[in-house]
């Protein structure tokens, strides 16, 4: 992959090139890097920000232990305080795993080598260690550290910078959780930066190993495996949302009303759909931009694989559109059903009020303190009582026939 042409991001970041960058590496450290539980990269606690809640700490979306994911690739010696993973491919074959980060520059001297470096929740000092080594742009490094970036692909002189999100739906609550991933893409290296533990990096590595014959395509294949895993996760999330919507549809017309439950569940799913659309819709442009020939990331041999990823992105985006319309329809239908039930109740109450009004009229008439036929006689009482029962019975039959009761 030849360096991509300068984009607008280069012009925007040229004014910041002369700013001093902190290059203090904190020294070499032996033993597996561990995340500092007291260090919160998101001081405001926003987590996923506008793109949903963060995954539970200490486990991936699939319940794996993030400390042990891709264990063979974990670096035992690293200048970074965060946990790092490394892999080296040479001539289309896996050559090394878990080698020290400091050795990357020596390996890159060989043009047949492709490097994968993964950083788990790094801080500024961790990325500063790599910034000069790979020529990373300050703006890209800043975006890799700050949470809640929009899914995008930025072009710089020496590399590309990608931001994407994994997603998973909690079927029980209908809440969407997202995990943010940043990636630096050079001609010989793919550097992934995970800002939390949601993404199962072990599953990504397994996907790379499932097609060893494609490793010869270098960074383009590694990026394909990463995007394919993320987009498949989007598809699974949309499918889970679809199943939740079908469950609401079944409850909508139950004999026992679930109006408040349906309303609450529908609003939560609509909120999750809005958040998911913010993740999926920009991915169309991201994948489409990666496939551009002037970036020299995707060769002709890999183009069909990227086309398949792009097709999945389009299908997921269209699916979210249809689900959004369906959820809105469910909300409107639920309101209409509530209105219809209220009308039925009002109609029944009115019918019974009309039935009760006839005995009330008769008792009011015969309760006057004036003489009338049958006054103070047993026959008069019997006649009034029979009239009330007969009138109520007639009104009941009429209302029942008209389906008012």
**pLDDT, tens only, 312-355:** 999 999 999 889 888 888 888 878 877 877 888 888 888 888 88
Q: Comparing C-alpha atoms, which of 316, 116, 321, 303 is closest to residue 231?
A: 316
Euclidean distance between CA atoms 287 and 207, whole angstroms: 18
CB 32 within 8 A of CB 76: yes
Euclidean distance between CA atoms 303 and 297, whole angstroms: 10
Whether residue 31 has pLDDT greater than 60: no
Using the structure block, give the residue that is written with the tokens 């040479």.
90
57 HSE (CA, 13 A, CB side): 9
Euclidean distance between CA atoms 218 and 230, whole angstroms: 19
φ, ψ at 305 (rounded to 5°): -70, -40
pTM of the model: 0.73
Within the chain, what is the greatest distance between any pair of CA atoms? 121
Helix (H, G, I), strand (E, B) or coil at 135: coil
Most confident of 133-137, 284-288, 329-333: 284-288
**pLDDT, tens only, 391-405:** 888 888 887 777 776
Euclidean distance between CA atoms 297 and 290, whole angstroms: 7
**pLDDT, tens only, 162-179:** 999 999 998 888 899 999
**pLDDT in the model for residue 148:** 82
CB 73 within 8 A of CB 118: yes
Using the structure block, give the residue that is written with the tokens 């606690």.
45
Euclidean distance between CA atoms 228 and 311, whole angstroms: 11
Q: What's the whole-number average pLDDT of the chain?
A: 80
Q: Comparing C-alpha atoms, which of 239, 2, 224 is closest to residue 116?
A: 224
**Pairing of β 113-120 and β 152-155:** unpaired
Q: Which residues contact 13 (CB under 8 A, 6 or more apart)?
A: 137, 138, 139, 156
Using the structure block, give the residue that is written with the tokens 């993740």.
279
**pLDDT in the model for residue 223:** 96
Whether residue 226 has pLDDT greater than 90: yes
Give the residue-averaged pLDDT of 259-276.
86
Confidence bin at 9 (pLDDT 50/70/90):
very low
Residue 293: how many CB atoms within 10 A of its CB?
Answer: 10
Helix (H, G, I), strand (E, B) or coil at 179: strand
Confidence bin at 203 (pLDDT 50/70/90):
very high
- CA torsion sign for 41, 137, 52, 63 is negative
Euclidean distance between CA atoms 401 and 405, whole angstroms: 9
CB 222 within 8 A of CB 190: yes
φ, ψ at 216 (rounded to 5°): -65, -15
- CA torsion sign for 69, 151, 326, 308 is negative
**pLDDT, tens only, 85-100:** 999 999 889 999 999 9
């Amino acid at each position: 992959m030849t360096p991509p042409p300068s984009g607008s991001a280069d012009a925007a970041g040229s004014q910041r090139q002369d700013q001093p960058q902190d290059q203090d590496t904190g020294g070499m450290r032996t033993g597996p890097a561990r995340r500092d539980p007291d260090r919160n990269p998101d001081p405001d606690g926003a987590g996923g920000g506008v793109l949903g809640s963060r995954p539970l700490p200490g486990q991936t979306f699939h319940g794996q232990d993030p400390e042990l994911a891709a264990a063979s690739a974990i670096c035992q010696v690293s200048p970074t305080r965060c946990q790092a993973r490394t892999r080296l491919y040479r001539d289309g074959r896996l050559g090394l795993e878990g080698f020290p980060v400091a050795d990357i520059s020596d390996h890159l001297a060989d043009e047949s080598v492709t490097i994968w470096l993964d950083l788990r929740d790094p801080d500024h000092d961790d990325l500063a260690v790599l910034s000069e080594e790979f020529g990373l742009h300050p703006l890209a490094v800043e975006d890799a550290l700050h949470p809640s970036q929009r899914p995008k692909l930025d072009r710089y002189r020496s590399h590309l910078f990608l931001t994407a999100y994994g997603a998973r739906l909690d079927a029980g609550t209908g809440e969407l959780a997202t995990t943010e991933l940043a990636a630096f893409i050079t001609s010989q290296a793919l550097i992934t930066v995970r800002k939390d533990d949601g993404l199962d990096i072990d599953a990504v590595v397994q996907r790379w190993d499932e097609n060893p014959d494609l490793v010869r395509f270098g960074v383009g294949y590694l990026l394909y495996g990463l995007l394919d895993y993320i987009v498949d996760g989007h598809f699974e999330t949309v499918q889970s949302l679809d199943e939740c919507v079908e469950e609401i549809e079944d409850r909508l017309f139950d004999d026992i009303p679930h109006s408040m439950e349906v309303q609450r569940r529908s609003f939560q799913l609509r909120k999750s759909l809005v958040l998911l659309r913010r993740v999926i819709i920009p991915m169309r442009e991201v994948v489409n931009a990666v496939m551009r020939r002037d970036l020299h990331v995707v060769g002709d041999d890999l183009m069909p694989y990227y086309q398949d990823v792009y097709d999945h992105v389009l299908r997921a985006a269209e699916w979210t559109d249809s689900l959004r319309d369906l959820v809105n329809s469910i909300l409107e239908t639920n309101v209409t059903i509530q209105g219809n039930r209220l009308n039925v109740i009002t109609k029944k109450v009115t019918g019974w009020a009309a039935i009760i009004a006839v005995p009330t009229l008769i008792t009011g008439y015969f309760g006057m303190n004036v003489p009338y036929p049958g006054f103070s006689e047993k026959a008069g009482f019997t006649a009034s009582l029979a009239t009330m029962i007969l009138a109520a019975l007639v009104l009941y039959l009429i209302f029942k026939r008209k389906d008012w009761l």
